Amino acid sequence: MRSIWQDIPMPSFPPLAGDTRTDVLIIGGGIAGLLTAHYLKESGVRCLLVEKGRICGGVTQNTTAKINVQQGLVYHKLLKRYGEETAVGFYAANTAALEEYAKLAETFPCDFERKTNYVYSLKNTDLIEKELSALDRIGAPGDFEESLLLPLPTVGAVKTENQAQFHPLKFLSALASPLPILENTAVLAMENGAAVTSHGRIYADRIVVATHFPFINKHGLYFLKLYQHRSYVLALQNAPDYHGMYIDEARCGLSFRNAQGELLLGGGGMRPGKKGKGWEVLRAFASKHYPEAEETHAWATQDCMSLDGMPYIGLYGSSTPALYVATGFNKWGMTGAMAAALLLRDLLLDKDNPYTALFSPARSLSHPQLALNSMEAAADLLTPGRRRCPHMGCALHWNAEEQTWDCPCHGSRFTADGKVLDNPANGDMTPGWSDPTK
């Protein structure tokens, strides 16, 4: 299972060789960590990034690489829940992230293209109208598009021009090359201001956790504030070029974009450890609508979903003044990672940033999703079964299509023989569950 991006060779870096010290340690070599390291190095900060495997070897290499400010039908929800200031701020932060990619693409060639984005609905024009009204209220551009090129019975879409798509690994291969990076260096624990790794300790004044799902349980309550959602993608030759980016407003709908002369068809979403159709629904759609198409790649990814549709970026917890986090990008990891890197740079330089409160991980937990996350976790903690997740002890479920053991509580995934694939589990599966705090 390889994505269409993985033909690009990535630079390699050595592992840690004994204890060392840095001013800022960044844990996690995906796009959020790499961008943060880039901006800190550019600002003259002595920093170091560590990755347990190879950089971009996880979620980042499996993105569909869309850079959008219109992240589903989000703005009417933000207006209703938080008010105009929050909605305007979220739009501004994502717009700044998009424009920053446009600047960097001039230095790091990455097939950056401006594209029109469409968020469509199959049945609910009311939601489309609410979103357009919200965009008008916050002064953001957006138009109603009645007729789309897609072979779907859509009832309309929010059309947003001048969004973007790119080749993520072309971009990150060039951006990462000059950075201070250690690969194959797993952080096993945090002790007294130091990261304990498989090759020694790294002492740092400040630490950023950019590991997709935060792995430190005793701060921040991320095991309650987040859940993960899995999505599937096919790359198809001899399929139409739709000249834009398309996504269903429904979370489990289909997405479309073209890259390298192929159509990227996404969807089949589900929570890890739950029943779903995965690639099956995509292959059925392709067979019906693109009978001449040839499948060249098939891959899957998963995303951390926050309680309110906005990322958590800032201090890891209320009692961790030197520990920071970036997570919960809600399927918009490209835009979210850039917003995170720009905010973390300012926080680590002790500069004011207009989005500090907006993305603060300490914002209100009052949301119905929190109760749902808690009930899901409690149910699976009580489910009998010999195979348990080392993260917090939930029963693992077998994923026959991908041949993996998946955790329905928090989304950790393991190979058939127990090797960890996706966090927050910070180690391999064991035959029986032992105390994960030890």
Q: How large is the average pLDDT for residues 422-436?
A: 68
| CA–CA dist 31, 341 (Å, integer) | 9
User: pTM (2 decimals)?
Assistant: 0.94
Confidence of residue 434 (pLDDT cuts 50, 70, 90): very low
Residue 151: count of CB within 10 angstroms of its CB:
12
Query: From residue 429, how far is each of 340, 363, 382, 421 by CA, in Å?
Result: 31, 33, 18, 10
Residue entry with tokens 């891959």: 299
Is the pLDDT at 438 greater than 50? The verdict is no
Is the pLDDT at 432 greater than 70? The verdict is no
| CA–CA dist 315, 326 (Å, integer) | 9
Question: Residue 120: its pLDDT value, please?
Answer: 98
pLDDT: which is higher, 103 or 436: 103
Burial code of 297-330, b = ≥16 C-beta within 10 A, e = fewer?
bbbbbbbbbbbbbbbbbbbbbeebeebbbbbbbb
Going by C-alpha positions, the residue among 212, 296, 229, 285 that lies closest to residue 255 is 285
Confidence of residue 435 (pLDDT cuts 50, 70, 90): very low
Going by C-alpha positions, the residue among 280, 286, 258 that lies closest to residue 268 is 280
Q: How large is the average pLDDT for residues 164-182?
A: 98
State the burial class of residue 218 (Cβ atoms within 10 Å of its Cβ: 0-12, 13-18, 19+): exposed
**How is residue 313 written in tokens?**
């970026």
Ordered structural domains, the chain, with CATH: 20-63+170-224+308-348 (3.50.50.60), 368-422 (2.102.10.10)
Confidence of residue 431 (pLDDT cuts 50, 70, 90): low
CB contact at 8 A, 20 and 200: yes
pLDDT: which is higher, 369 or 310: 310
What are the tens digits of pLDDT across the range 154-171? 999 999 999 999 999 999
pLDDT: which is higher, 182 or 376: 182
**How is residue 261 written in tokens?**
């002369």
DSSP characters over 115-155: EEEEEEESS-HHHHHHHHHHHHHHT---EEE---SSSS---
List all residues 6 or more positions away from 240 whose beta carbon is below 8 Å from its beta carbon. 149, 263, 290
Residue 381: count of CB within 10 angstroms of its CB:
14
Query: From residue 165, how far is each of 116, 140, 208, 250 by CA, in Å?
Result: 10, 20, 27, 21
What are the tens digits of pLDDT across the range 18-56? 999 999 999 999 999 999 999 999 999 999 999 999 999
pLDDT: which is higher, 38 or 371: 38
Question: Residue 283: its pLDDT value, please?
Answer: 97
Question: Residue 433: its pLDDT value, please?
Answer: 41
**How is residue 375 written in tokens?**
């009930």
List all residues 6 or more positions away from 257 whose beta carbon is below 8 Å from its beta carbon. 64, 66, 115, 165, 242, 244, 245, 246, 263, 264
Enter the DSSP assignment of 108: S
Q: How large is the average pLDDT for residues 315-339?
A: 96
Confidence of residue 58 (pLDDT cuts 50, 70, 90): very high
| CA–CA dist 212, 2 (Å, integer) | 19
Cα dihedral sign for 67, 69, 70, 75?
Answer: positive
| CA–CA dist 153, 155 (Å, integer) | 7
Backbone dihedral region of 331: left (phi > 0), alpha (psi from -120 to 50 degrees) or beta? left
DSSP characters over 39-85: HHHHTT--EEEE-SSSTT-SGGGG---EE-S--SS-HHHHHHHH-HH
Confidence of residue 400 (pLDDT cuts 50, 70, 90): confident
How big is the CA angle at 33 (ends 310 and 345), to the nearest 5 degrees? Answer: 75
**How is residue 278 written in tokens?**
């995965």
Percent of the chain residues topping a pLDDT of 70? 94
State the burial class of residue 291 (Cβ atoms within 10 Å of its Cβ: 0-12, 13-18, 19+): exposed
What are the tens digits of pLDDT across the range 224-280? 899 999 999 999 999 999 999 999 999 889 999 999 999 999 998 888 888 778 899
Confidence of residue 401 (pLDDT cuts 50, 70, 90): confident
Question: Residue 436: its pLDDT value, please?
Answer: 36
**How is residue 150 written in tokens?**
């897609």
List all residues 6 or more positions away from 307 whose beta carbon is below 8 Å from its beta carbon. 225, 365, 367, 369, 370
Question: Residue 230: its pLDDT value, please?
Answer: 93
| Average pLDDT of every residue of the chain | 92
Question: What size, in residues, is the chain?
Answer: 438
| CA–CA dist 422, 302 (Å, integer) | 9
CB contact at 8 A, 185 and 52: yes
